[in-house]
Structure 1
Amino acid sequence: MKPDLALAYCRMIAQTLGVDQDGLGALVANTGIDVATLQHGDGFIDWPGACQLIHNAGQLSDAPDLALQTGLRALPAMHGPMGMAAMASPTLRDAMRVFASFTNTRTRVFRTDMDEDDDTITLHLTFAYPLDQAIRFLTESAMASAYACHVVLRGKPIEQGRACFNYPAPPWADAYRKVFRGIDVIFDHPEVCLSLPAHYGDEMLASHDRDLLWMAIQQCEARQETLRKQGTVTDQVLALLHQSHGQSSLDQVADHLHMSPRTLIRKLKREETRFQQLLDQTLSRRATQLLSLPHYTVAAVAEDLGYTDVASFRRAFQRWFGTSPGKFRQE
C-alpha cells in the first residue's frame, strides 16, 4: 500500500463523526483497511482508499463542515514527529519551516512550501491530484489544521492573515469564517495558502525544547529516507515535476536523482513510462486546476505552464484532452 495519507488523519475523521462500531465498519468499507487498522494502525492508507473513506464519511454525515471540524482536531501533537518538531522549534518561523520540510512524512497527496517577504510568511499547499470532492475535503481539513496549529504554537489568537482557497466559495462559506477567525478568507485564489504577518515569525515558542527538536528532526529525516527508498523512479520523477510545476527538464531531474539522463530514460522504460509522459501528466493536471479558476485567462494558464505563446499551449491541451481550453472551461 502506498503511503499516501497517515492513518492518524483517518482516525480524526472517525472521531469527528462520533460513530459507533457499526459506523466504523461503514467508514472503512471498500477502503482496503479494516476497523482494527483504523483504530490502532500507525501506518498509511493509499489515496484510492482515502478517497473511498472520505466518500463513506460523507454518507455517514450531512454536516457540510465535516472536513473543517476534522482539521481543527489535527493539532501539532497529532502530526507525529513533524508536529513534535514544530512544537519544539525556537520560533514560529522555525515551526513553519518544519511543516514545509516534512509534510511528505505524513502524506504524499500534497506538499507544503514556505516563502517570506517583508510583510508576510506564507505556507503554500500544492496537491498532487485534480480538485474533486476528496481533494476539497483534504484542502479544508489541512488548512483548518494549519490555522489551529499556529494558534496553539503562538498560545494566542491569530489576528491578521489570509486563508486562500483555489475554488469558488461553497454554500457553507460562513463555516470557513467561523473556523479562520481573525483572518481574511479568500476564494477563487490561484493557490491554496495560509499567510501570516512576517513579524509573527519572530515570536518565541514557549514549547521550545532543543533536545526534543533534535530527536524529532532525526525521526522525520529517517522517515523521509525510508519513503525515498520505497518509491519507484516514476514516483520520484513525478514528485520533482510536481514541485517545479512541470518546469524541470530531463537533465535537471536526472541530476537531482544522481544519475545520467540516459540512465533515467532506461529506468523509466523499465517502469513502462517516459519522461515526456510524466511531464504531460503534470502539466495537464495543473492546466485543469488553473482553468477551474474563473479569473485565470487561457493566456495566464499558458504562461504559468511555461509556454512562450498561447497557440503552443492550445495545441498541447488539444493533444491531452481532445478539446480546446475554452471548450473545456465551458463544460
Structure 2
Amino acid sequence: MHPRQFTLPAHYLLQIVDQISSMGAQVPHALKQGLAIEMAPGDSVQSLPFPVFRQLILEALSSTREPAFGLLIGERLRLHSHGILGYAAMNSGTIRQAVELFECYFKVRTTLLSPRHEIHGNELRFIFEEPYPLEDIRRPVMEAVILTIKNMFDYITIGVSHIDRVFFPFDRPEYAELAHELFQCEVRYGQSWAGFTLPLKVIDLPLKVADAAMFKDATLICQRELDKLTEQQSLGAQVKRLMLDKKNGFSSLNVTAKLCYLTPRTLHRRLQDEGTSYKKLLEEVRRTLAVAHLESELLSIQEISYLLGYTDMANFRRAFKRWESVSPSEYRTRSASRRATIMDRVAAD
C-alpha cells in the first residue's frame, strides 16, 4: 500500500460525518461522494486515500468551527466502536496483554497511527507514532485516537489502575480545559511524544473483566483479519489491482512502477521478495479476465484476445490451453453447458 493510502473502518468515517451533522454543519457534497466510493456497510475496514481523508477533516474543522473536533470524535468512539479488537481488549487478562494486543493488531482498525510501548523508570509509556506524516490534521487525529484508546483502557482496568497523565507533542490549545475534562486526567502539551502512561507495578495484575477463552478466540479472529489485510496490502496485490483497473490494455513495467511510486528496479526486487514477478502477475490477471469474459459471452474470442493484449489469436489460444487445459472455444462451450444444466434444474424445482 502506498503511504498516501491508509486503512480506517467505515464506522469511524460515519461517526465523523454524523458529528458534523449533529453540530448543525453540512457535510460537503463532494466529500459525501468521495466517501461513498470507499465506504461499505457494517464495520468493514476500508483503504482510503490520505488526501480524501485530510480534506474531510479540514472541512469538518472549517464547517463546524470547532477546533476540538478531534476530541469530540474520540469521545464518540466507545468500546463497541472498535470491532473485534475492542472485544479482545475487553477480555484481556492483564494490562500488559492489552498493550501487546494493540501493538500487534491496531492496524486491523487503522494505519493512521502505530502504537508501541517503552518502560521508563516505574511507568509504562504507551506511545502513538505517525507511520507517515499527518501534516495539518495531526492534532485532531492524535486527539481522537488517544482519547478513544484511553477511554478503553480506563474501562478494562477498573479497580486495578487509572491513567493519570496524557501527553501530546503540540502546543497547548485554547480548548485545553475541555481536553482535561474529557480525558479526566492531566494533559501535558509540548512533549516529545504522544500517548499516556501506566504504573509499571500494575501491568501484570489480573483484570476484573478478563476471560481467557474469549480473549483467545478474539485474538485468533484479529490474526485472520491481519493476515487478510497484509495480503491485500502486498505490492503484488497492488500491481494486480492496477492491472485490473485498466480499461484497455495493461501498463508496462515502467509505467506500473511509476504508479507505485517506485523505480522499475525496486518494483522488480520487491515483487521478487514476495515470490512473484510482473510477468507472473500479468499472466494471472490475463487468466482471470479471460475466464470471466468467456463465461459472460459478451465478447467474441477474438475480442477477448485483443483486449488481453494478444495481437495473435494463436498465442492467446496457446496461453489459455496452458492455463485451463482446454481451448477458449471448448471452455466457452462447457461453461454454457454447465449454465444450461443449472437452469434446467432450477426450472424443474
The interval holding the TM-score normalised by the smaller chain is 0.5 to 0.7
The correspondence for 2:153, drawn from 150, 153, 159, is 150
Partner of 1:81: 84
Match of 2:201 in 1: 199
Once residues 236 and 125 of structure 2 are traced to their aligned partners in structure 1, the CA distance between those partners, rounded to angstroms, is: 30
Shift, 1:211, TM fit: 2.2
Q: 2:49 aligned with 1:49, yes or no?
A: no
SS in 1 for 2:150: helix
Q: What is the rounded CA distance, in whole Å, between the counterparts of 1:27 and 1:69 in structure 2? A: 23
| Cα separation, 2, equivalents of 1:28 and 1:150 | 33
Residue 216 of structure 2 aligns with which residue?
214
Partner of 1:101: 104
Give the count of matched residue pairs: 244
State percent identity of aligned pairs: 19
> How many Å separate the matches in 1 of 2:265 and 2:88?
36
Q: String of CA shifts for 1:249-286, please: whole Å, max 9, x gaps.
A: xxxxxxxxxxxxxxxx986243899xxxxxxxxxxxxx
Contact 2:123 2:197 in 1 (8 A): yes
The 1:16–1:155 alpha-carbon spacing in structure 2 relative to 1, beyond 3 Å, is farther
3-state secondary structure, aligned to 2:117:
strand
Q: Partner of 2:268 in structure 1?
A: 270
For 2:202 and 2:25, locate their aligned partners in 1 and report how far apart those are by CA, in whole Å: 45
2:73 to 54, 70, 75: 70
Displacement of 1:93 in angstroms is 2.2
Contact 1:100 1:123 in 2 (8 A): no
CA distance in 2, matches of 1:38, 1:167: 34
Cα displacement (A) at 1:112 = 0.6
Instruction: Evaluate the alpha carbon distance shift between residue 31 and residue 173 of structure 1 in structure 2; reply closer, same or farther with a 3 A threshold.
Output: farther
Match of 2:19 among 10, 13, 16: 16
Conserved 8 A contact 1:3-1:43: no
Match of 1:185 in 2: 187
Once the two structures are superposed, what CA deviation does each residue of 1:190-240 show, in whole Å capped at 9, x if it has no partner?
12121121233234323212222112111111111112222244999xxxx
1:87 positional shift: 0.5
Q: Is the 8 A contact 1:7 1:45 kept in 2?
A: no
1:120 matches 2:118: no
Aligned-partner residue type, residue 83 of structure 2? G
Shift of 1:39: 6.4
**1:104 Cα deviation (Å)?**
0.9
Q: Distance in 2 between matches of 1:155 and 1:206?
A: 7
Cα distance per residue 1:142-173 (max 9 Å; x no partner): 11112111111123696553211111112222
What is the one-letter code of the residue matched to 1:68? Answer: L
Equivalent of residue 32 in structure 2, options 29, 34, 51: 29
Q: Could you say which residue in structure 1 is the equivalent of 2:7? A: 4
| CA spacing shift, 1:20–1:118, aligned 2, 3 Å | closer
Does the aligned pair in 1 maintain the 2:9–2:46 contact within 8 Å? Answer: yes
Structure 1 residue 85 displacement after superposition: 0.8
Residues in 2 aligned to 1:157 and 1:13: alpha-carbon distance in whole angstroms? 32
What SS class does the counterpart of residue 34 from structure 2 fall into? coil
State the match for 1:296 in structure 2.
none
Letter in 1 for 2:137: A
The more displaced of 86-95 and 225-234 is 225-234
Aligned to 2:114: 111
Name stretches of at least 5 consecutive residues in structure 1 with no aligned partner: 237-264, 274-331
Q: Are the counterparts in 2 of residues 10 and 38 from structure 1 also a CA contact under 8 Å?
A: no
Tell me how large the CA RMSD over aligned residues is: 3.5
1:5 CA displacement: 1.7
The alpha-carbon distance between structure 1 residues 203 and 105, as it changes in their structure 2 partners (threshold 3 A), is same
Q: Distance in 2 between matches of 1:123 and 1:151?
A: 14
1:251 match: none
CA distance in 2, matches of 1:25, 1:212: 42
Displacement, 1:89?
0.8
Cα separation, 1, equivalents of 2:269 and 2:24? 41
Higher Rg: 2
Assess if the C-alpha contact under 8 Å between 2:115 and 2:129 holds in 1.
yes
* TM-score with structure 1 setting the length: 0.63
